[in-house]
Amino acid sequence: MARLEGKVAFITGAASGIGAACAKRFAKEGAVLAGFDRDEPVGGSGDDWKAAVELAPGSTLQTGDVRDDEALGAAVAAAKQAHGRIDILVNSAGVGSGGPVHLIEIEEWDRCIDINLKGTFLASRRVLPIMLEQGSGSIIHLASVEGIEGFEGGSAYNASKGAVMLLMRNMAIDYGRKGIRVNAICPGFIDTPLMNSVMGMPGLEAVRSRIEDAHQLGRFGRAEEIANAALFLASDEASFVTGHALVVDGGYTAGHRFGIGQLMGLDDD
């Protein structure tokens, strides 16, 4: 039996990147999908959503912004009406942002906080009544290693993802006795359109290389590797896991290398 057979998953940011990879992985395991994204799926990782729909007939993608509570409410209601339940919520919608506090524009700060944090809150707020009625559910927030430790110039993004981590823990406390598990995934730097929109800017080639090297596996992660972790948290295999931040970062937060490995024959660089 597939691990998510008969379950319904509502995924924000479903048209590309990690959200689309989660959709495809969940569909392979038997879930029906209700996607929500401000964009239509196009090329690249957007093909994951198209593949997910082929694997899970009846899946739908609603277009809307996670900052729009009414649009979210309508999409959640449509999913409930179509499928009778929502078992899994993946809050994957997010944006990157940069700038130290004294330089970042207020509008940019608000955009990052509103999409990454408020969008997570709004989607959760809309889905939770359905899960409370069912007496079951699994909610997965996409946080970041940048919600665990700082990253230069990342004031708004760091703040938003750190807040998502604490929101996750609060929700795990509030809803655990109601049969609802709430966890977060903290990816390292993942090769997605979101990361490439930032790290692909001119002048960041050397920075990108240093960040890649900071991952102890020597590479950036892939969206499907995050989707595999999300599948575990969504499935009954994680039935005793709640309030947990699962770090999937290729060793980025494990520590640092200073060249000693070369002296011991452990570093090929």
CA-CA-CA-CA torsion sign (104, 110, 111, 116): positive
Residues 6+ apart with CB under 8 A from 176: 182, 242, 243
**Cα(176)–Cα(231) distance, integer angstroms:** 19
- Residue-by-residue DSSP string for 79-112: HHHHHS---EEEE-------B-TTTS-HHHHHHH
Q: How far apart are the first and last CA of the chain?
A: 45
* Six-digit token string for 120: 């997570």
- Residue-by-residue DSSP string for 203-258: T-HHHHHHHHHHSTTSS-B-HHHHHHHHHHHHSGGGTT--S-EEEESTTTTT----
- Residue-by-residue DSSP string for 124-136: HHHHHHHHHHHT-
**Cα(230)–Cα(26) distance, integer angstroms:** 9
252 is catalytic: no
Catalytic option among 157, 189, 220, 252: 157
Positions marked active-site:
157
